[in-house]
C-alpha cells in the first residue's frame, strides 16, 4: 500500500513539473516580436537580448 502511494506521488510530481515547464516555454515562443525587439540594459550594455536564452551575454546586463 505504501509503495502504491509513493508511485502516485512521484507521478503527480512529474506531471506538475512538466506542466510548469511547458507553461514557461510556451509564452516565450508566443511573443517573438517582443523578444526580438528587447535589448540589454545596465550601465554600458549595448548588446541585444537573446530570446531563446532570455538574457544578455553579459551576466551584469538584463533584458528590457
Q: Write out pLDDT tens, residues 24-58.
A: 444 444 444 444 456 676 666 666 666 556 667 66
Q: Quote the pLDDT of residue 6.
A: 63
Q: What is the 3-state secondary structure (H, E, C) of 2-51?
A: HHHHHHHHHHHHHHHHHHHHHHHHHHHHHCHHHHHHCEEECCCCCCECEC
Q: Any residues with CB less than 8 A from the CB of 44 and at least 6 apart, and which?
A: none
User: Where exactly are the structural domains of the chain?
Assistant: 1-30, 33-64
pLDDT over threshold 70, residue 63: yes
Amino acid at each position: 500500500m505504501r509503495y502504491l502511494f509513493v508511485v502516485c506521488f512521484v507521478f503527480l510530481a512529474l506531471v506538475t513539473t512538466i506542466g510548469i515547464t511547458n507553461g514557461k516555454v510556451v509564452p516565450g515562443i508566443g511573443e517573438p516580436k517582443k523578444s526580438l525587439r528587447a535589448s540589454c540594459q545596465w550601465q554600458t550594455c549595448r548588446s541585444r537580448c537573446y530570446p531563446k536564452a532570455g538574457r544578455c551575454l553579459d551576466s551584469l546586463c538584463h533584458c528590457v
